Structure 1
Amino acid sequence: MKRELVVTQGRREKAGKIRRLRTKRRNVLLLALSMFMANVSFGIAFPYLSVYMRLIGGTMLMVGLLSVVFNLTSTVFQYPFGYLSDQTRNRKSFISFGLFSVGVFYVLMAAVSTPLALLALRTAQGALGSAMMPAKSALIAELSTRVGSAYGFFSTVENAGYMLGNFIGGFLVRRVGIGGIFLLAGFLLGVSALVVLLLRERPRPKRAPLLLLIVQEGRGSERVTFEGGAFKRLMRGHLGLFYLSVLLVMVASGQVYSVVSVYFGETFGDEWVGILFGIDSLAAALSGYYIGRLIDRYGARRFYLLAVVGYGVAFLGYAFARSIYLMVPVAVLSGIKWSMTINSASTYVAERAKASERGQAMGLLNAMMSLGWVVGPLLGGYLSGISFTLNFVSTLIPLGLAFFLAFRLPE
């Protein structure tokens, strides 16, 4: 009788492991499908936001502000959403809400005709869309024991989607207009949000209920209470220096990519905007998975340093490559260095944060990226009004500081 109970228990445990493995594989497939569709929509719409701002009468400074307002609100809301996803353990709802919100605002953008209206919608899009990133980054880490490979796989999927969207946008923009591609992007994001809801997550552990209290005028006491100890731990020591390095890299990134669509359009023609972004994304998609595997083998810090160097070389290429034949290999390098950046940074943080604080850790990483894109586009919009070349070359200053900080970190 005792032997039979042992055998039965063993079979149950084996069956449970098989069910959990199948559920995890199903979740990976569904999340990958959703992120592919979402990035198709991002690739369709994002390169033409700056172009659209110019078409409706915005200045180069307002082009930069498109990124500033989006990333400012995203910076503010990233950590709170990461905290809530840790507390509720309901990652999919935050991912779905963020995707759906971004899509709604793209649909609304198709109807605006003034720079201020476009800026207002972009501001709200950054706030509500920020619900997605911390929960998605934490969920990816929870779906695999090989974190670098997992981020590499999703980087490949997302960049493949973004690449396809770039080419679709470049093909459709002269046929349906920028408003039309915004509507298509909004539709795809709605479908992507529905796919995420099909994920099966583990039941939330029993704990005291947590309510999200929205701050309203005259009701300042109603706010989310954060675990201050977790925030302080994450910002101390080597991880804090790494966050600062990422911030500096993203300042340089914001300087360039907030205005480069306009630069491509003026230099090579509007149809090349989508094509060059597509080549960039293709390089990131093809390299992402293999870079993730190499990160698992050789360490995240090493590839992060290579990525910072890649930023500098790519931005010098933007400054001095006047021929489309020279710009194409620069776009390839740009894609590869982005794949290195996002995979190595995500892996470095995920491996050094406790599982119970991973959502908050990834939220802080994304917040640093967003904060860099608050400062960078302001500089980029101003300097590009003087000279695009001046703007691109000046990025070597924050990139040099970022490399110095990261070089001091342990592997």
Structure 2
Amino acid sequence: MGTDRASDGVDLLDAFRQFFALERDVLVLSLSMLAFSLAFQMTSRYIPEYMRILGASAGVIGLYGSVGNLISAVYPYPGGAVSDRLGSRFALTAFAVLATLGFGVWYLAAVVGSVAVGGLTVPAWAFVFVGLFLAQAWKSFGLGATFAIVKQSVPPDRLAMGFASTEVFRRLGFLVGPLVAAGLLAVAPAFVDGFQLVLLVAVACGVAATVAQHVLYDASEDSLGKSFEGVGQVIDDLRAMPETLRPLLVADTLVRFANGMVYVFFVIVVTDFLAVGFTGFGFDLRPDAFFGVLLGVEMVVAIISMVPVSKLAENAGLKPAVALGFSVYALFPLVLIYAPADQWMLVALFAYSGLRFAGLPAHKALIVGPAERDAGGRVTGSYYLVRNTLVIPSAALGGWLYGSSWAVDVAGRTLRAGPELAFGVASVVGVVGVAYFLLFGEEFEAYE
């Protein structure tokens, strides 16, 4: 894509754009990521608490997480195929419209409440599932399109920095979104009242981002691949996946399975299990508002660390950066569930959690780097199809362990189900994934 230099050949932003690999369409993509990340992160991290207040059990909340995993598994491949065939502009606009509608359905869940259909009563939290299928459209359907845009806009040896540029914008949304949510929740009389305001802001962000990306994105240089040819093509694409991705895929699946077991319960651990609020600097925050601040702390660390780690990866390789992120994913559940109910300890732990994002640009570069130019969306879609399919049951398993009360004797000791067991098992699975990657993970040759 073009660099949009000024007519006299001087671009005052050239140094900035060279450093962050911000070609025009990567910049448009980055701004869209900012808006949708803002919308999704101010809402999705609170959805489990929203469901709990609407009457959902731990098992149902875990099922919600697994449905999210199912969507993440199913959406990227057809999304990548649509992007490769029809172009990124059309694909991302359609996915953005669907996501915006999803935020609206989440808003209606508390407004409509339980609905009687014939002899059945549909609980209010059921509408959250409906909204989920729509809200994840830009995030999951559009995954292949976003990878493909960076792939075709940035030189191979700059992929980590290209992804870092989009990720920094995306993580700014991760930072600002929860802080906006925390502010709205803090001034509202109750959680649901504040969260309804948050959802309306999310709808507004979705509308603005949809219009902006459709108008500003230059589709003239989209590279189009072949059309989708059915299930056989999926199998062919999986078989054609570059060899260097296979150890990464195994390790990534284990780490994400571990994270998926407990991710939806992070907000409930803070608001209900530990029930920690924040007092200081003239503020007195309820636990739900404090959780938004903790997510902000997490994202500050993520944003600060992401670009330096990506620059280091250009010299040291991608593998160490990816291993760093994987290790934080693996250990965080264990340290969180056994943390004392202290506000400053939670601040420190969520700051540590932010380091899991430091290796994400390198991780993405390691996925898409070996792909051919016109197949970036397909390789990405195939990779996430496998990983996310295997991760589907993780949240349901974690929800079952979290909400159960059974106990068994093991070697003379009583092992009880509950939050501690769910989070402990998650960390064990994650550590196995980290060890596998350290032993068998391969480097992308452009960084060797």
Same fold (TM over 0.5): yes
Give the structure with the higher percent strand: 2
TM superposition shift of 1:147: 0.4
- CA spacing shift, 1:207–1:403, aligned 2, 3 Å: closer
Could you tell me how far apart the structure 1 residues matched to 2:163 and 2:292 are?
25
Given the superposition, is the C-alpha separation of residues 137 and 119 from structure 1 closer, same or farther in structure 2, using an over 3 Å criterion? Answer: same
Distance in 1, matches of 2:170 and 2:75, equals 23
Gap runs ≥5 in structure 2: 1-6, 114-123, 277-286, 404-416, 444-448
Pick aligned residue for 2:345 from 322, 326, 336: 326
CA RMSD after TM alignment: 2.8
Q: Would the aligned equivalents of 1:39 and 1:158 in 2 still touch at CA under 8 Å? A: yes
Is residue 71 from structure 1 mapped to residue 69 from structure 2 by the alignment?
yes
**Structure 2 counterpart of 1:57:** 55
For 1:83-139, what per-residue CA distance to the aligned partner results, in whole angstroms no more than 9, with x for missing partners? Answer: 221233x11222222222112111111111312222232234446752211111221
Question: What secondary structure is seen at the aligned counterpart in 1 of 2:46?
Answer: helix
- 1:92 maps to what in 2? 89
Q: Distance in 1 between matches of 2:176 and 2:224?
A: 43
Q: Give 1:180's aligned residue.
A: 197
- Which residue in the other structure is 2:144 paired with? 134
Alpha-carbon distance in structure 1 between the residues aligned to 2:40 and 2:430: 26
- 8 Å Cα contact 1:250/1:373 also seen in 2: yes
Query: Residues of 1 paired with 2:314 and 2:419: CA distance?
Result: 38
How far apart are the structure 2 equivalents of 1:205 and 1:149?
21
- Alignment identity in percent? 19
Matched residue, 1:102: 99
Counterpart for residue 10 of structure 1: none
Q: Specify the SS of the correspondent of 1:258.
A: helix
Q: Is the 8 A contact 1:156 1:287 kept in 2?
A: no
Distance in 2 between residues matched to 1:254 and 1:137, nearest whole Å: 23
The answer on whether the counterparts of 2:35 and 2:205 sit within 8 Å (CA) in structure 1 is yes
- Name the counterpart of 2:167: 155
**Residues 174 and 299 in structure 2, CA contact (< 8 A), matched pair in contact too:** yes
Checking the alignment, whether the CA contact within 8 Å between 2:301 and 2:355 is kept in structure 1 is yes
What's the CA shift for 1:152? 1.4
2:211 is aligned to 194
Q: How does 1:102-121 map to 2 (within 5 A)?
A: 102-112=99-109, 113=113, 114-121=124-131
Separation of aligned partners in 2, 1:206 and 1:290: 33
Correspondence for 1:34: 32
Cα distance between partner residues in 2 of 1:309 and 1:129: 24
User: Which residue does 2:442 correspond to in 1?
Assistant: 410
Per-residue deviation, 1:226: 2.5
1:97 and 1:292, CA in 2 relative to 1: closer, same or farther beyond 3 A? Answer: farther
The one-letter amino acid of 2:131's match is: L
CA distance in 2, matches of 1:237, 1:25: 30
Cα shift at 1:67: 1.9
- Distance (whole Å) between structure 2 residues aligned to residue 354 and residue 130 of structure 1: 21
The TM-score normalised by the length of structure 1 is: 0.85
Aligned mates of 1:263, 1:24 — CA distance in 2: 39
1:361 aligns with 2:361: no
How far does the alpha carbon of each residue in 1:294-318 deviate from its partner, in whole angstroms, 9 at most, with x for none?
2222111122222222223322220
Q: Output one character per residue of 1:30-50: Cα deviation in whole Å (capped at 9) or x when no partner.
A: 222221111111221112101
The residue that corresponds to 1:262 in the other structure is: 268
* Runs of 5+ consecutive residues of structure 1 not aligned to the other structure: 1-14, 213-221
| Distance of aligned partners of 1:18 and 1:245 in 2 relative to their CA distance in 1, 3 Å threshold | farther
In structure 2, the partner of 1:390 is 421
d(CA) in 1 for partners of 2:208 and 2:386? 29
Give 2:236's aligned residue: 229
| CA distance 1:351–1:116, change in 2 (3 Å) | same
2:369 match: secondary structure: helix
- Amino acid corresponding to residue 69 of structure 1 in structure 2: V
Q: Which amino acid aligns with 1:194?
A: V
Query: 1: distance between equivalents of 2:399 and 2:201?
Result: 28
CA distance in 2, matches of 1:149, 1:206: 24
Equivalent residue, structure 1, for 2:354: 335
Q: Tell me if structure 1 keeps the 8 A contact 2:96–2:137.
A: no
Q: 1:281 aligns with which of 299, 302, 305?
A: 299
CA contact (8 A) 1:151 1:346 kept: yes
Q: Distance in 2 between matches of 1:262 and 1:207?
A: 44
Aligned to 2:244, the other structure's residue is in SS state helix
CA deviation vs aligned residue, 1:49-95 (integer Å, no higher than 9, x gap):
0111011100011111222112202311211211221233x112222
SS in 1 for 2:393: helix
User: Partner amino acid for 2:402?
Assistant: S
- Distance (whole Å) between structure 2 residues aligned to residue 231 and residue 250 of structure 1: 20
More helix by share: 1
Q: Is 1:122 matched with 2:132?
A: yes
Q: Give the TM-score taking structure 2 as reference length.
A: 0.78
Decide whether the 8 Å contact of 1:45 with 1:181 is kept in 2: yes
Residues 369/284 of structure 1: CA separation in 2 closer, same or farther (3 Å cut):
farther
